[in-house]
Amino acid sequence: MMLKKNPSDKKIVFVDFEPIGRRVEIAIGETLLSAAQSAGVELISICGGVGSCDSCLIRLVDGELSPHTKIEKEVINSEALTKGFRLACQAKPLGNVKVDIPPESLAAPQRLQIEGQYVDVEVNPIVSSIDVQLEAPSLSDLRSDATRLLTAVEEQYGNRLRIYHSVLFDMSKRLRNQGWGARLAVRGSNIVAVLAPETKLLGLAVDIGTTKLAGYLLDLATGETLGMMGAMNPQISYGEDVISRIAYTNDHPEGRATLKAQLIDTLNGMVSDLCSEVNVSSDQIVEVVMVGNTAMHHLAVGLPVRQLAVAPYVSAISESLDLPASQIGLHVSLGASVYLPPNIAGFVGADHVAMILATDVWQTDRITLAIDIGTNSEITLAIGDRLLSCSCASGPAFEGAHIKDGMRAAPGAIERVQIIGDEVRTFTIGAQPPVGICGSGILDAVSEMLKAGLIEGRGALSTDDPRVHGEGAERAFVLAPADQTGHGRDVVINRKDINEIQLAKAAIRTGIDVLLNECGVKYAEVEDFIIAGAFGTYLDIESAVRVGMFPDLPHERFRQVGNAAGTGARQMLVSADRRGTATELVERVEYIELTTHAGFQDEFMKAINF
């Protein structure tokens, strides 16, 4: 085993945390818990690392750890010990190791939602590899490089292929440098990359959220996720939400080009980082799948968005797109294609399609509601063979916007609130002193304030609680007093914040109710209630039900699935069949336009109150 030395002469080893795909360097002698902390992997450690609980349980996958401690032998049962389970606070790597973190040991879902390492779908990627060895040209064999390659493939495999033009840019050099041997990436009847023999073909799946981007690097042959990474969508500086970004492009002649360039630059940075992390070349990425809401989709590939912001809000294209990655400026293999699944409507995009795909909503025989919560929320109801979808303008409150002390889910954001008698308990991301409130914290706060009688049914703040300060618009409930916060000011919830939450939850609830009414389904008949997306994963179901955003179903019917759009994108990356399924399901969807739906206004007004 290769060991590196650090400046203080301690031996350095790598720890790979799976299924997160995060790697960290630590010195020999440090525990896995310490390694996890360096890597920003939030392992639960109830006892604080003294070995008195088993909350930091992990499993060794590869490499060697220090022998079992006495504490481990007491805490872990013998069967689990033989399977490689260890306590992260006890075990110390003796060399490079790879460990697997069971879901129950993760303190909170990662900010970038992490699903299992394998995408649960049969692998049949649209790009596959074949290997060839050619004769070098000579004065008695003057065929062009392309003819030579195509003829060899035909002779060895019986297929007459073509070569993408962009592959030719460096094919001649590659063939010569590789001694005329190559691994070819083949897409349909086209050669899309000429790689060195034995090179793995990789794919990239990207979820373009209005706020966040998630990128996944996959081995196309096995479907394995080799790495994943999150980033903020840089278009945020041109507008927090979709509508303000569209307005920006309407007001600036180069606006569309600017937003596209910003996004693609960030994606290129992500590709570069992902590739270094996994130690591969971006040339190996021969296929890309991108999902996003319709506006993000249009902006990513340079399509006009003006018509998305004016009634009747139609997309330029709803069909799937397949285009050269080079055309949109992605720095992957020169001949790579980008596949963008179809969208359903101007405000129900391919990310929702990917979510329906990944959660099996398209093929369930149970009455299922599936919801993606964001500035715009998309909801689908599956009943029998029917799929009904709608979009509701839930607003940016759950992203922390339009809230006095709102912030994104970043360190110092209050993400959980409990009010127990006089005590207000807040829990922040990264256990930092509070500096603001993120979406799940706001929802919790309103829910707990309702429970504590601090908010009445129409949303007004209680007039007789000493924790409610100020007058008029300044009137607010203090979640964290100035002497406990990171910036020395109170973190509060005011009347207007409550009103924002009322609008948001009413929009979502109305969407749910309209879909259910359309099919005559009662709440109690909903068998599965799937909640996707970052906020959807962090939110407390009980809080969501108490404020009236979700109907009051038995808790076990709710399922928080994290970034299902990313998983759906990965499925379409490694499975050509899944692309067909996506197209079919979009054709099946009955789209309900809420703004023109009879009874929408009444339902909405009813849903405003708590």
Q: How far is the CB of 539 from a copy of itself (least distance, A)?
A: 30
SS (H, E, C) 1-66: CCCEECCCCCEEEEEEEECCCEEEEEECCCCHHHHHHHHCCCECCCCCCCCCCCCCEEEEEECCEC
Which CB atom, from 172 or from 363, has the smaller least distance to a copy of itself? 172
CB of 141 to a copy of itself, least distance (A): 8
What is the C-alpha to C-alpha distance for residues 100 and 606, in angstroms, rounded to an integer?
A: 48
Residue 42: which of 415, 405, 408, 406 has the closest Cα?
415
Please identify, using beta-carbon distances, which residue of 274 and 330 lies nearer to a copy of itself: 330
Q: Which is nearer to a copy of itself, 165 or 555 (CB)?
A: 165
CB of 304 to a copy of itself, least distance (A): 5
For residues 133 and 144, which CB has a smaller minimum distance to a copy of itself in the complex? 144
Rounded to the nearest whole angstrom, what is the least distance from the CB of residue 345 to a copy of itself in the complex? Answer: 6
> Of all helices (H) and strands (E), which one includes residue 207?
strand 202-208
**Concatenated DSSP letters for 78-144?**
HHHHHTTEEETTT--BSSSEEEE--GGGBSS--SS----SB-SS--B-SEEEEEEE-PPPBTTB---
Nearer to a copy of itself, 103 or 580 (CB): 580
SS3 599: coil
Please state the three-class secondary structure of 375-415 as a single string: CCEEEEEEECCEEEEEEECCCHHHHCCCCCCECCCCCCEEE
Reduced DSSP (H G I as helix, E B as strand, rest coil) percent helix, strand, coil of the chain, to 5:
35, 25, 35
Residue whose CB is less far from a copy of itself, 150 or 419 = 150
Query: In angstroms, rounded to a whole number, what is the distance separating the alpha carbons of residues 30 and 455?
Result: 49
Please report how close the Cβ of residue 17 comes to a copy of itself at its closest, in angstroms.
Answer: 39
Please state, in angstroms and as integers, the Cα–Cα distance from residue 567 to each residue in 215, 225, 318, 363, following that order: 11, 10, 21, 16
Q: How far is the CB of 451 from a copy of itself (least distance, A)?
A: 41
For residue 209, the minimal CB distance to a copy of itself (Å) is: 21
Helix (H) or strand (E) holding 322: strand 321-324
The binding site for a copy of itself (CB under 8 A) comprises 137-148, 150, 162-163, 165-166, 168-173, 176, 301-304, 306-307, 311-319, 321, 323-324, 326-327, 343, 345-346, 591, 593, 595-596
CB of 340 to a copy of itself, least distance (A): 9
Cβ atoms of residues 94 and 30 within 8 Å: no
Of 559 and 597, CB closest to a copy of itself = 597
Residue closer to a copy of itself (CB basis): 398 or 604: 604
